[in-house]
Amino acid sequence: MNADRSWPGISHYQVEAGPDWTGSGPLSEDAECDVAIIGGGLAGISTALSLLERGVDSVRVLETDQPGAGASGRNGGFVFAGYSLANDALFTQLGREQATLMHGWTRDAVDLIRDRINRYAIDCQVNDAGVLLADWFGDDQRLRAFQQRMADQLDFELELIDREAMPSIIDSPRYGAGLMEPGSFHFHPLRHVRGLAAHLHRAGVGVHGLSPVKAISRTRNGWQLTAGESVLRAREVVLTTGGYDKTLWPPLQRALQPIATYVAVTEPLQGLTERLVPGGVAVYDTRFAFDYFRPLPDGRLLWGGRISIADRSPDAIRRLLRRDLAKVFDGLGNIEFEQAWGGWMSYARHEMPLLGRTAEGLWHGLAFGGHGMATTTLAGELLAEAICGQPARLARFARWQPLWAGGALGRYAVQTRYWWLQLKDAFRSQTGTGR
């Protein structure tokens, strides 16, 4: 059992992938570059890679911990389309043409992630079985209506798996029908981030772990960053720290709301995982606070869920998720979770990413919430395009401005809203809607 007893816990990914990737080492002397990126998660690494692919190699990434140590390397490993903002809400806000365009960019990002894995030979345990949305409420009519809306509103074609076929995908009576997203997949997120970072390092891009930036200031010709005893001067700076920093640029970062989610991984289940999830898919369900799970290559089951403002201990996470697991797979209530951990996701009030440039000239990519794999990769593309003189796509995100998240009171307001939505889910489950 994991000996670590405090938040956020040691993830299975850290144990499986081995020692931290040291990259270019800490920034240990004064330096200059064209573009400095603060934050070594997938948003920062993707921005550096997108710049490199456009011929910009005078780039340095500064990370407080090591690449992928935050949400980008601690998540469930689902790679699928969409933003944290619900697809229906995206359509309502933008109309069909613009919503289809911008949702399509996230589908392109899924393809780009897969292409880069192949192009750079990244060993990150890709499973192409796909991502499945499973209906918790047994409401086939509502699920079919959602499938039709996605086709009509976003040109987003989801494959219906009817309830008779579902046992061949997930062996649980808990679910009704399901919707499969074409092109989606799941993988080892920490290996993925480390693999991209290693490619950057080999190409001459500095990826500096253990290099916390303490201050940013505007200079006559660009920016100055202070990291430890070293100073980095850059023509452009990109801020991609997610939910793990709120102090470097407060006017922007006060718009971030850090929200916790929890994950655990079972012991090897001796062939049971293949019987429980014969389709090999990654699964999430139609509740607001859904479970998400997927089989791992060594026969373990990764299980995640819950959203909260609480930084729970690994033991508390085990207890919570064990109860959730037993609701889906009867008889597994005593299963052993070898690792349990949490992590912070960053949200904005409007549930869309914060992408753009401040009045002072600071580029930023933040607030990717629970849809981070595709949207952080997309952010890297959009920021690199804009830095290279093509800002048109990035400009479409200007309508979603950094609104103050409310500080501590805002966090409690968010938690109250989550409780209310979870109560609605529970009421709908108890009334048997659609069953």
**7-22 per-position pLDDT tens digit:** 899 999 999 999 888 7
User: How far is residue 203's CA from residue 374's CA, in Å, rounded to a whole number?
Assistant: 23
Give tens-digit pLDDT for 184-237. Answer: 999 999 999 999 999 999 999 999 999 999 999 999 999 999 998 999 999 999
* Cβ 405 vs Cβ 254: under 8 Å: yes
* Cβ 57 vs Cβ 248: under 8 Å: no
Give tens-digit pLDDT for 396-423. Answer: 999 999 988 777 777 777 778 777 877 8
Task: Name the H helices within 262-371.
Answer: 272-276, 314-328
Helix (H) or strand (E) holding 16: helix 12-17
- Nearest Cα neighbor of 9 from 264, 364, 370 is 264
Q: How far is CA 379 from CA 88, 174, 374, in A?
A: 21, 36, 9
* Amino acid found at 59: V
User: How far is residue 257's CA from residue 211's CA, in Å, rounded to a whole number?
Assistant: 24
Res. 3 pLDDT band, cuts 50 70 90: very low
User: How far is residue 163's CA from residue 143's CA, in Å, rounded to a whole number?
Assistant: 11
pLDDT given at position 86: 95
CATH topology of domain 22-75+190-256+350-412: FAD/NAD(P)-binding domain (3.50.50)
Give tens-digit pLDDT for 82-93. Answer: 999 999 999 999
pLDDT-wise least confident of 29-33, 110-114, 185-189, 426-430: 426-430
Give tens-digit pLDDT for 43-96. Answer: 999 999 999 999 999 999 999 999 999 999 999 999 999 999 999 999 999 999
pLDDT given at position 433: 52
Q: What average pLDDT does this structure show over 100-120? A: 98
* Cβ 304 vs Cβ 322: under 8 Å: no
Q: Is the pLDDT of residue 268 over 80?
A: yes
Mean of per-residue pLDDT scores for the chain: 93
- Nearest Cα neighbor of 273 from 81, 163, 59, 129 is 129
∠ at Cα 64 (9, 15), nearest 5°? 35
Q: What percent of the chain has pLDDT over 70?
A: 98
User: Domain limits of the chain?
Assistant: 22-75+190-256+350-412
Chain centre distance of CA 255:
18
Q: Is the pLDDT of residue 435 over 60?
A: no
- Residue 191 neighbours by CB under 8 Å, 6+ apart: 13, 17, 122, 123, 124, 125
